[in-house]
Amino acid sequence: MAAIIRKFTQFRPKEIDSLWKKARRVVKHDGLHLLKAPRSTDIGRILMVIPKRVGNAPTRNKLRRQIRHIFYETQLFKGDADWIVIARPGAHEIPFATLQKLFAQAASSKVA
């Protein structure tokens, strides 16, 4: 299972550039922005941008784990989109239930 989850977050540098060009914001929250782009491989993937301003290392790692959990449990990798998650200061204060609602809201929106 860990090998499968690892595939969800692996990008090559050219793929990252292409993803940024195609991505469109679908959810804007005080501490989190969710962007979607058309899927470029056989599974949907997620790129997480969590800068040091968000908190210390354990805080950022917990946020990453929560986001990966939501992505895997709701099977967003089976969808038609690649995702970018941009965390802002205060993202670590967002309750897990709210994170789930934000991802559900983003999943129901169309890819540009």
Q: Residue 57's domain is classified under what CATH number?
A: 3.30.230.10
Total structural domains in the chain? 1
Task: Count the alpha carbons within 13 Å of 30 in the hemisphere toward its beta carbon.
Answer: 7
User: Whose structure tokens read 């897990």?
Assistant: 96
Task: Count the alpha carbons within 13 Å of 25 in the hemisphere toward its beta carbon.
Answer: 6
pTM metric for this prediction: 0.86
Distance CA 30, CA 44 (A): 25
Per-residue pLDDT of 21-57, as tens digits, reads 999 999 999 999 999 999 888 888 899 999 999 999 9
* Mean pLDDT for all residues in the chain: 88
Distance CA 54, CA 41 (A): 30
Quote the domain boundaries for residue 56: 2-108
